[in-house]
Structure 1
Amino acid sequence: MSAIRNQSVDPFFSALTEILGDAGVVRDPSIASNHAGDWSEATRSTPCIVVFPRTPQQVAATLEICARFRHQVVVQGGLTGLAGGATPRDGEIALSLSRLNAIEDIDNVGGTATVQAGVVLEELQRRVEEKDWYFPLDLGARGSCQVGGNAAVNAGGNRVIRFGTMRDMVLGLEVALPDGRLLSMMNRVTKNTTGVDLKHLFIGSEGTLGVITRLVVKLSPKPTYACTALCALPSFDAATRLIREGRARLPSLSAFEVMWEDFMVAAQEIHALRPPFAASAPVYVLIETLGTDEANERALLENFLADVLESGLVADAVVAQSMDDAQRLWAYRETVAELLSHLKPHAAFDVGVPMAAMDRFVSSTRDALAQQFPNQRHLFFGHIGDGNLHVLSGPHETSDDLHRVEDLVYRAVGKAGGSISAEHGIGVIKRDFLHQSRSADEIALMREVKNLLDPAGVLNAGRIL
């Protein structure tokens, strides 16, 4: 790839300016430094140029120019990723989607929303709720992450057990391809069997095959009441039985968050939270139901908890009596940002492990980490209803130690038949461990698809592969 020249006569810079205007092409280091990296531990690098297209057509035209001049480009949404996928590499320009932020249509009849990729998730949630609809994807980064990025990594979040991942919420896409074509697949109906559903090629591809510019997403009826409970359990086996019972008896079950004791202790210390129960427990579960009938939701959950308490499946439980109570219960689970900051430099994992293997995985991985790194904390928590487990280990003194932790955990994931990334993507952080989850033939086919759509290798190069 050719180096980017700083002179105003640079034909590449001139071509970008002609398409995007002076305000859409930025070389000011004070602005570009804000685009030097995402939330991951990947080495930050300030891009030479940041471009801010305002329309899907401008995104496509920008990619055509980059391909023609052989300049690599990194796509950036809200910069909340944890896999380094949006962190620039040397020589890359950054393409920010922040100005593609229009909510174009909310279909009150069909229950869909048509949005541009740069719409912030929390803004979409707020706007559809004003019209008595609900967009169920929910993440801790909701105030910064963008809907296009959510689709690019197939985000999951807290409510996958009921609503599925982002892939399940997307009906249609528009994608700018690396050669400058704008591919419209803006389907608005749930049933559509008209050949290969090409949108799935781009959902979860982390911007390596094309840049998502617009989306049609499915909405759900707006729930008016959430019922939340925190439970103390005698074992992880009890948690697996509890979720099976909960799925059968709680039709509006929307979240089932599991936290091992080590996580709860750390959360209480760092966030100054009170112990939730008089006695500690090996495992804690946060349960949420979403519905429209407050009395019915509360009765269902309370009756369910009364039965599992009587049977010994649950040792103790508390049900939120107000929204403030619910926030206090969720606070234990949502201390993750503070934990990440407190344990730096850390190794943070977002893995998928089959539920039948999860207890053994946690026990053996915790023991192996404690043996090799006795002075660090190793915390376990996750959304086990969908097999998503988070592991946090730190602080570690050297990059070599961090790599040893990664190798240990990802080998264990591969041995368990799991996924090295459940919802955060591969990016550059997990690229060297992809073989633990994907076969050589799968990786080779991914490479062939990448070469087919981006033969010049200009778009998010070095991510995933």
Structure 2
Amino acid sequence: MSGFVETLIDRFGPSVVTAGAESPEKYHHDWAGLAPVVPLALVRPRTTEEVSEIMAACHSEGVPVVPQGGLTGISGGAHPVARGIVLSLEKLDRIEGIDTDAGTLIAGAGVVLETAQEAARDKGLFLGIDIGSRGSCQLGGVLATNAGGNTVVRYGMARDHVLGLEVVLADGTVIDGMNTMLKNNAALDLKHLFIGTEGLLGIITRCVLRLHPLPPAKETAFVGCGGTSEVIGLLRTARETLGPMLSSFEVMWPSFFDIMSEGTGLGSPLAGKHGAYVIIEATGFDKEGTRTAVETLLEKAFEDGLVGDGVIANSVKEERALWAVRESPAEYERVLGPVIPFDVGIPIGKMDEAVTRIEAEVHALFPSARTLSYGHIGDSNLHVVINVPEAGQNQPEKEIKACVYGITRDLGGTVSAEHGIGAIKRDYLGYSRSADEIAVMRGIKQVMDPKGILNPGKSFDEGQAA
């Protein structure tokens, strides 16, 4: 394949194409923790036309293509294959425009999420997608994985923000679906073939995103609850009291909060220990009214015995402090060492059983294990991070995954709530999707990518990942 790489270099130049052995190490893996793989080449196209031409060449030669965005995924969806190229979309980083009348933003796949958020904010508008890696994740990856995040309870998953897409197919065909209208029922809405399918059916190059009016008021509260049942009761009360103002509802069980607050030195805004900790965020268009609504919520929650203690931020600095422990996962390696992360979905009514069973059964397998539970409970998303101290770098992934995913399956949950399947969850997809559903997915893949060159071995694809 060296001749193929040389042909690409001759055509596009070394600023676009780099031989795999000479490519920077950061493109050899994502955050999934898999062993780095040196690709055949790193390709960083500057335009949709270049993406199209590169895909046509790869299709003709049967060369696998792994698309990459900001490399913040934890499921191995952007992990390279040795015999294929890495196609980074990072140079497609232009915001083409914001229509304040229509409430839309048009941008390239390589635009960093935080950049898009700030551009919308400068126009008095709001992009409702928000995840912890906002400063480095890119829009193409966010959409290809149908990312979730902190505001899903109010604004929905990434899919819910997309009006249109431009996509390059496996053979280089460009699908111009850059719809800017909220209503467009002209036959099949093809964009949904590419949102959340991790680059297996096509490569997103541009997007049209829906924006909302920017809420000028935001209130953040941090409370301690007796346990999961009180948290669920608080969620119900928050929805009833705040209505559409409820924008975030994050829970941290003591297994997460105690370890990370101490390990990071961030401490707790509350006195004493609690059975669960919750961050509630409300946004609105009247500062006094929003504050009053949150205060009313907490008063009712105290009266009903749902909350034992709580505080409301009085400044941006205090707001950030209330979020600090929740946004500390980047500190896992320093605080815990190597971890096995999980992103599962559990029906809200079974969340208490899920947390209790997972923490107890992992402890039964490995008594020294540290099992940290937290998540976006308002949208049924539970994150679990596990470390077995004595295992060092050789964490017992097989046994731990069998335990956690088995409990998830038994409770009618999903093995992937917001981070995709990628390479690391492929063997467990059958826990959440039926054989018939997977067969349909593979049938669509065969039609869209008959040579199987797009992101082989990921998610529902039957190809080899390496």
Which of 317, 338, 344 aligns to 1:345? It is: 338
One-letter code of the match for 2:226? P
Q: Which residue of 1 aligns with 2:165?
A: 173
Work out whether residues 248 and 282 of structure 2, in 8 Å CA contact, stay in contact via their aligned partners in 1.
yes
Q: Distance in 1 between matches of 2:82 and 2:23?
A: 17
Alignment of 1:67-146 (within 5 A): 67-146=59-138
Matched, 1:324 2:317: yes
Work out whether residues 85 and 427 of structure 1, in 8 Å CA contact, stay in contact via their aligned partners in 2.
yes
Identical-pair percentage: 42
Which of 17, 39, 45 aligns to 1:25? It is: 17
Q: Distance in 2 between matches of 1:184 and 1:333?
A: 39
Matched, 1:211 2:200: no
One-letter code of the match for 1:24? V
Question: SS of 2:105's equivalent?
Answer: strand
Q: Which residue of 2 aligns with 1:285?
A: 278
Cα distance, 1:231 vs structure 2: 0.7
Cα distance, 1:272 vs structure 2: 0.4
Q: Distance in 2 between matches of 1:244 and 1:143?
A: 32
What TM-score do the two structures reach when normalised by structure 2?
0.95
Work out whether residues 387 and 395 of structure 2, in 8 Å CA contact, stay in contact via their aligned partners in 1.
no
Matched, 1:273 2:266: yes
Matched, 1:300 2:286: no
Q: Which residue of 2 aligns with 1:184?
A: 176
Which has the larger displacement, 394-403 or 173-182? 394-403
One-letter code of the match for 2:256? F
Q: Distance in 2 between matches of 1:52 and 1:341?
A: 32
Work out whether residues 135 and 218 of structure 1, in 8 Å CA contact, stay in contact via their aligned partners in 2.
yes
Q: Deviations over 1:30-62 (max 9, x none)?
A: 533221110111121122311111111111111
Q: Distance in 2 between matches of 1:399 and 1:444?
A: 34
Q: Which residue of 2 aligns with 1:360?
A: 353
Which of 33, 47, 50 aligns to 1:41? It is: 33
Cα distance, 1:14 vs structure 2: 4.3
**Which structure 2 residue ranges, 5 or more long, are not aligned?**
461-466
Cα distance, 1:342 vs structure 2: 3.1
Which of 365, 371, 380 aligns to 2:364? It is: 371
Question: SS of 2:458's equivalent?
Answer: coil
Work out whether residues 80 and 144 of structure 1, in 8 Å CA contact, stay in contact via their aligned partners in 2.
yes
Query: Which runs of at least 4 in structure 1 moved beyond 6 Å after TM superposition?
Result: none
Question: SS of 2:325's equivalent?
Answer: helix
Which of 434, 453, 460 aligns to 2:455? It is: 460
Q: Which residue of 1 aligns with 2:463?
A: none
Q: Which residue of 2 aligns with 1:198?
A: 190
Question: SS of 1:213's equivalent?
Answer: strand
Q: Which residue of 2 aligns with 1:390?
A: 383
Q: Deviations over 1:337-378 (max 9, x none)?
A: 112553332110000000011111111111100111111200
Matched, 1:437 2:432: yes
One-letter code of the match for 2:381? N
What TM-score do the two structures reach when normalised by structure 1?
0.96
Question: SS of 2:133's equivalent?
Answer: coil
One-letter code of the match for 1:275? S
Which of 427, 441, 445 aligns to 1:446? It is: 441
Cα distance, 1:253 vs structure 2: 0.7
User: Aligned-residue CA RMSD in angstroms?
Assistant: 1.4
Q: Distance in 1 between matches of 2:28 and 2:380?
A: 33
Q: Distance in 2 between matches of 1:400 and 1:144?
A: 28
**Which structure 1 residue ranges, 5 or more long, are not aligned?**
none
